[in-house]
A and B are shown apart, each in its own frame.
Chain A
Amino acid sequence: MKDSTIQNDGRVRMLKHVLALVFWLVLWHLAAVKVGSPIILPTPGAAFQKLLEMIPEKEFQLSVGTTMLRIAIGITLSSTVGIIAGVLCGLYRPIYEIISPVIAIIKAVPVISVSILILLWLSDSAAPVAVCFLLCFPAMWSNTLRGILETDKKLLEMAYLYKVGKCKIIRTIYMANLKPYVLSGLSISIGLGWKSTVTAELLSSSRYSIGRMIYNSKIYLVTEELFAWTLVVVVLSFLMEYMIGRIMKAAEGMRKNEYKA
């Protein structure tokens, strides 16, 4: 009984999502018909058709694969460094004092000027990864830092009183508290990562990249293709976030079992 209610709830929610999507697609279609020029605004049908045509192409697969690889590297790097730096800054005040101004500067510098600068320094294939790193790192860092600083002081006091080792306090009390903060940092990073990587690819015109393909479709005024690529980015970005959520959940389950013993 209860299961079926939950299932029904899920279905109702799904239906709401689909209806919302249909609403916006219809609106897009009507706007496209009204504009009447596929170069300025193609219809959703045309964009989807273009997408279906593109998928079997080898260049499409290579571009999507390479871009995803770059983003995966960028996000892995930025979250690893961001989490380590965030933990250290949260635990040791002097490290925070040294690192925080650097991060404030990274946050304030416009994406475009960093991107161009990095393009001058690095190869066109590595530059998008570096840009992705620079954008995602501060997000991961500040989320992790908040997680550490907002750890329950009362639990820390308890662990201190019972003379529990610092390493163990970090592994158990801090890490357990960190999960939602890291998850939200990752969610922000994935969104930022896709946008920044594709933009940097476009600027550097990296070989086999979504950015370059978007640039091409703009040059040749194939607007349906531009829309099709945009759809690809949106869908893949969602998919990546969903998958990371699942992985974190699985990891959480494993951790719990470890303590059950």
Chain B
Amino acid sequence: MNIKLSKIGKHYGNLVLFKDLEMEFKEGRISVLTGPSGCGKTTLLNIIAGLDREYNGEITGTDPERISYVFQEPRLIESMTAAGNIRFVLDGKKLDEIPEDIVKENLRLVKMNSFKDYYPNELSGGMKQRVSLARAFAYPSDLVLMDEPFSGIDMKLKDEMVQDFLSLHSRKKRSIIFVTHNIDEIVGVADEVFVFGGQPAHVKDTITIERDKIPQGLRHIDGGNVVDNAYLDKIRRRIIESLQGVERKR
């Protein structure tokens, strides 16, 4: 089921963040939400996640019990190992497989299997964020929200993590709402891009990326440089123009 937001309204005091916001995210697709900072992208994720309940309007197509979230920070529990942190969100849930297998499989997909018994303070920032990524996909969810999950991670590692993310996603096609400013990340992962802006914030531009027009292997960012492809170049220019248009009006 697609996720539909209708007539979403949200304000902080006098600041009106959203007014009658209408959006639709396609099931099983990676939707990227981008726009200038402070325009309410994180707030929108929190509203969809059910973490922020002070809003007007209606959201359909989500099950609050089945949502994962990769936060900007890893948010791991220090007293538990990498595997323990994933187990922590699985216990007591209805699962298709044995929890051990789910933990193992997801840690393997983010290349963290050999670190499964490490505590967060023994891991680097990038490794911790991988555990957080594995946790989001290990959890039985239909929707994964991602809030600039790769910001603050260096280029090479970021590229690896984007690939980890895509391999996690291709295994189970969940709906993804991904917030980022990074053009390489957008082009690298998105099926659909929403450029957000204005006050109150609304969707200025929607760009669909037809993945089948991109040859296999070009989907990923290659060491920070997106490989030449006329179609991708067009998309890149369009996103950049859209973003610049939004920035200029502020």
Which A231-261 residues sit within 8 Å CB-CB of chain B? Answer: 255-256, 259-260
Q: Evaluate whether A165 and B92 lie within 8 angstroms (CB atoms) in the complex, with A154-B75, A256-B79, A259-B79 already known.
A: yes
Q: Evaluate whether A164 and B88 lie within 8 angstroms (CB atoms) in the complex, with A155-B77, A259-B79 already known.
A: yes
Q: Does B165 contact A (CB under 8 A)?
A: no
Q: Are A161 and B79 in contact (CB under 8 A)?
A: no
Q: Are B79 and A255 in contact (CB under 8 A)?
A: yes
**Closest chain A residue to B78 by CB distance?**
A176
Q: Evaluate whether A260 and B81 lie within 8 angstroms (CB atoms) in the complex, with A154-B71, A161-B49, A161-B67 already known.
A: yes
Q: Does A58 contact B (CB under 8 A)?
A: no
Q: Does A160 contact B (CB under 8 A)?
A: yes
In whole angstroms, how far apart are the Cα atoms of A162 and B71 in the complex?
12
Q: Evaluate whether A158 and B79 lie within 8 angstroms (CB atoms) in the complex, with A168-B91, A259-B84 already known.
A: no
Q: Which residues on the B side are within 8 Å of A176 (C-beta)?
A: 77-79
Which B69-102 residues sit within 8 Å CB-CB of chain A? Answer: 69, 71, 73, 75, 77-81, 84, 88-89, 91-93
Q: Which residues on the B side are within 8 Å of A165 (C-beta)?
A: 92
Q: Which residues on the B side are within 8 Å of A163 (C-beta)?
A: 65, 93
Which A122-175 residues sit within 8 Å CB-CB of chain B? Answer: 154-155, 157-165, 168, 172-173
Q: Are A161 and B51 in contact (CB under 8 A)?
A: yes
Q: Is the interface of B mostly helix, strand, loop or mixed?
A: loop
Q: Which residues on the B side are within 8 Å of A160 (C-beta)?
A: 51
Q: Which residues on the A side are within 8 Å of B65 (C-beta)?
A: 163
Q: Are A155 and B75 in contact (CB under 8 A)?
A: yes
Which one of A157, A164, A255, A259 contacts B51 once the chains associate, using CB atoms below 8 Å?
A157
Which one of B50, B80, B91 contacts A259 once the chains associate, using CB atoms below 8 Å?
B80
**Closest chain B residue to A261 by CB distance?**
B84
Question: Mask for B6-49, Cβ within 8 A of A = 1, else 0?
Answer: 00000000000000000000000000000000000000000001
Q: Does B178 contact A (CB under 8 A)?
A: no
Query: Closest approach, in angstroms, between the C-beta of B65 and any C-beta of chain A?
Result: 6
In whole angstroms, how far apart are the Cα atoms of A260 and B139 in the complex?
20
In whole angstroms, how far apart are the Cα atoms of A14 and B228 in the complex?
67
What range describes how many residues of A lie at the interface?
10 to 19
Q: Are A162 and B81 in contact (CB under 8 A)?
A: no
Among A157, A162, A163, A168, find the residue whose CB has the most chain B CB atoms closer than 10 A.
A162
Q: Evaluate whether A158 and B139 lie within 8 angstroms (CB atoms) in the complex, with A164-B88, A173-B77, A256-B79 already known.
A: no
Q: Which residues on the A side are within 8 Å of B78 (C-beta)?
A: 176
In whole angstroms, how far apart are the Cα atoms of A168 and B67 in the complex?
19
Q: Are A154 and B73 in contact (CB under 8 A)?
A: yes
In whole angstroms, how far apart are the Cα atoms of A260 and B84 in the complex?
7
Q: Are B77 and A172 in contact (CB under 8 A)?
A: yes
Query: Closest approach, in angstroms, between the C-beta of A133 and any C-beta of chain B?
Result: 31
Q: Which residues on the A side are within 8 Å of B84 (C-beta)?
A: 259-260
Q: Does B205 contact A (CB under 8 A)?
A: no
Question: Mask for B135-154, Cβ within 8 A of A = 1, else 0?
Answer: 10001000000000000000
Q: Which residues on the A side are within 8 Å of B75 (C-beta)?
A: 154-155, 157-158
**Closest chain B residue to A157 by CB distance?**
B51
In whole angstroms, how far apart are the Cα atoms of A143 and B69 in the complex?
32
**Closest chain A residue to B72 by CB distance?**
A154
Which A154-200 residues sit within 8 Å CB-CB of chain B? Answer: 154-155, 157-165, 168, 172-173, 176
Query: Closest approach, in angstroms, between the C-beta of A77 and any C-beta of chain B?
Result: 28
Question: Mask for B171-201, Cβ within 8 A of A = 1, else 0?
Answer: 0000000000000000000000000000000
Query: Closest approach, in angstroms, between the C-beta of A59 and any C-beta of chain B?
Result: 48
Q: Which residues on the A side are within 8 Å of B88 (C-beta)?
A: 159, 162, 164, 168, 172
Q: Which residues on the A side are within 8 Å of B93 (C-beta)?
A: 163
**Closest chain A residue to B139 by CB distance?**
A162
Q: Evaluate whether A162 and B51 lie within 8 angstroms (CB atoms) in the complex, with A154-B75, A155-B77, A172-B77 already known.
A: no
In whole angstroms, how far apart are the Cα atoms of A138 and B5 in the complex?
49
Which one of B68, B69, B80, B135 contacts A172 once the chains associate, using CB atoms below 8 Å?
B80
Query: Closest approach, in angstroms, between the C-beta of A237 and any C-beta of chain B?
Result: 31
Q: Given contacts A159-B88, A168-B88, A260-B117, could you give 6 more A-B pairs where the C-beta distance is less than 8 Å?
A: A154-B71, A158-B75, A164-B89, A165-B92, A172-B80, A256-B79
Give chain A's interface residues, CB within 8 Å of chain B: 154-155, 157-165, 168, 172-173, 176, 255-256, 259-260
Some 11 contacts from A to B, beta carbons below 8 A apart, are A154-B73, A161-B49, A161-B67, A162-B88, A163-B93, A165-B92, A173-B77, A256-B79, A259-B80, A259-B81, A260-B117
A-B CB proximity, top 3 nearest: A162-B89, A158-B75, A176-B79
